Amino acid sequence: MAASTRRIKSVEDSIRDTEEPEHQLRRNLSALDLTVFGVGVIIGTGIFVLTGVVAKTDAGPAVAISFVIAGVVCGLAALCYAEFASTVPVAGSAYTFSYATLGEFIAWIIGWDLILELALGAATVSVGWSGYLNQLLGDLGIPLPTSIAGETATVNIPAIVIALVMTGVLILGIKLSSRVTSVIVAIKIVIVLLVIVVGIFYVKAANYTPFVPPAKGGAGETGLTAPLIQSLFGFTPSTFGVGGILAGAAIVFFAFIGFDIVATAAEETKDPKRDLPRGIIGSLVICTLLYVAVSLVVVGMQKYTQLSTTAPLADAFRSVGLPFFSGVISVGALAGLTSVVMILMLGQSRVLFAMSRDHLLPPGLAAVHPRWGTPYKITIITGIIVAVLAGFIPLGTLAELVNIGTLFAFVLVSIGVIILRRTRPDLPRPFRVPLVPVLPILSALASLYLMLNLPAETWIRFAVWMVIGVVLYAAYGRRRSRLAAGGALDPATAAQRESARARPAD
């Protein structure tokens, strides 16, 4: 296992793999397409639900500051992703970045970890999509039986259907996926802007007072449901005040998850060195502005103490005599979740594609369709797994695994930027993180802090998942890896071999 940790796949080898005809993805995406993908996966139900939850229970009207803080934390990680994605424009995102800096074993671990964020996340969102669909059908007077739709369904038929339909779209080509996403994103942004523009006319200045409510001691959870930071250090989080704003930032942070998926499409981008940083950072900035605007409108329309924690936006509009917007917001949430399901599955298929191409998974899975230019085998497998998880397995308590998996990836990517700067200072970097190593260290620490705010039971599940991954790597990937036969390659050796190959023969 120690030897496999030293197997580092050079940046040059990673880029060369993208030119293999049987593994070559089509470059059809622009900076606008990437930005749309980012907005499509970031804006889900978080904007419609978390605003009310955090305002009522943690931050009051200052929930807007919580969104800004969360956006800044994500921005630090986004800078690290942007540098890596422009330097190593290869499918796989954090998996590929880790392979080039931390070695094969860590790369496998992060690839295994990303399944928590992507496949499990897509399944969880599919279940949420089913619930919103049934809510909308209920408003129209034609609800589906709860046995086949919603979070309590025995067999969740709508969740299965949406997962399989999005699988079909992904197989038919990245350009079609981009066009479908563009339409869906346009719909939900129009609805979000409508909420902001209409809602601002019903804002009452008195509802913003006090903007930062006085701090109150929190009761806190106990046992395995308590945040790990509380179990380790006896720290009991407070509500409201500055502590409440920070606690709210830890919650609304998860409404930003998804911008990193833009990096998984690096290999399908026309000009990745220019367009990837624009797509990653641009989508994050747009979503942060929308989140802050929506949060200011909703706490201005209705006193934060009266906000609903299940449907705050709909309830706020109902409180000012606009019940029609309940249906509009449901349509926006449904559109939002549709694009989230598809883009999470896109990211998962590209990570598994990269792992298969490196022979850490069966290499036959990395085949690209001759007509559509997509990794169709791995996409079909991803779609079936997501459909089964969404249709038959209760996912409520597992949803937090999505969060810890994402944050773990953020930590490793942030560390990887520092390592690659030292081991390969010669690499051309079209985008560079400023103030290295300070900003990457801040990014890693901020992500680690948010991980510590997750329950201890989530950490236990995460540890079990990682152990399973280590066993699978030892049983298959360690011996079958493309680098296994060549032994350990450190970055300097890999660069020397690349230079030797480039020199003309005597």
- From CA 86, how far away is CA 103, in angstroms rounded? 20
Task: Say what the pLDDT of residue 494 is.
Answer: 47
Residues 96 and 90: beta-carbon distance below 8 Å = yes
What are the residues whose beta carbons fall under 8 Å from the beta carbon of 327, sequence distance 6 or more?
136, 139
**pLDDT tens readout for residues 84-120:** 988 988 888 889 999 989 899 999 999 999 888 888 8
Highest mean pLDDT among 154-163, 227-236, 454-463: 154-163
The string over 325-354, giving b where at least 16 C-beta atoms fall within 10 Å of a residue's C-beta and e elsewhere, is bbebbbebbbbbbbbbbbbbbbbbbbbbbb
**pLDDT tens readout for residues 301-311:** 999 999 887 67
Mean of all residue pLDDT scores within the chain:
85
Per the structure block, which two tokens stand in for 141? 């007077």
Confidence of residue 299 (pLDDT cuts 50, 70, 90): very high
pLDDT at 496 over 50: no
**pLDDT tens readout for residues 113-126:** 988 888 888 998 89
Instruction: Quickly list DSSP for 167-220.
Output: HHHHHT-HHHHHHHHHHHHHHHHHHHHHHHHHHGGG--GGGGSSSSPPPB----
Residues 262 and 34: beta-carbon distance below 8 Å = yes
Please tell me which residue, 9 or 135, carries the higher pLDDT value.
Answer: 9
Partnered with residue 216 across adjacent β-strands are 239
Nearest 5 degrees, angle CA 158-CA 29-CA 109? 65
| Percent of all residues in the chain with a pLDDT value above 70, rounded to a whole number | 91
Return the CATH architecture of domain 2-391+404-501. Answer: Up-down Bundle (1.20)
Confidence of residue 329 (pLDDT cuts 50, 70, 90): confident
Please tell me which residue, 90 or 229, carries the higher pLDDT value.
Answer: 90
Q: Give the type of residue at 219.
A: A
Q: Where are the domains of the chain?
A: 2-391+404-501
Residues 34-38, mean pLDDT to the nearest whole number: 90
Q: Which of 375, 406, 355, 351 is nearest to 92 (CA)?
A: 351
Report the chain's C-alpha Rg in angstroms.
Answer: 23
Per the structure block, which two tokens stand in for 340? 């989230």
Residues 89 and 269: beta-carbon distance below 8 Å = yes
**pLDDT tens readout for residues 168-204:** 999 998 888 888 889 988 988 988 898 899 999 999 9
Nearest 5 degrees, angle CA 105-CA 106-CA 111? 100
The string over 282-304, giving b where at least 16 C-beta atoms fall within 10 Å of a residue's C-beta and e elsewhere, is bbbbbbbebbbbbbbbbbbbbbb
- From CA 148, how far away is CA 158, in angstroms rounded? 8
Kindly report the length of the chain: 506
* C-alpha 264: how far from chain center: 11
With the CA atoms of 50, 55, 58 and 59 taken in that order, what torsion angle do they form, in degrees rounded to the nearest 10?
A: 120
Please tell me which residue, 157 or 394, carries the higher pLDDT value.
Answer: 157
**pLDDT tens readout for residues 178-188:** 888 899 889 88
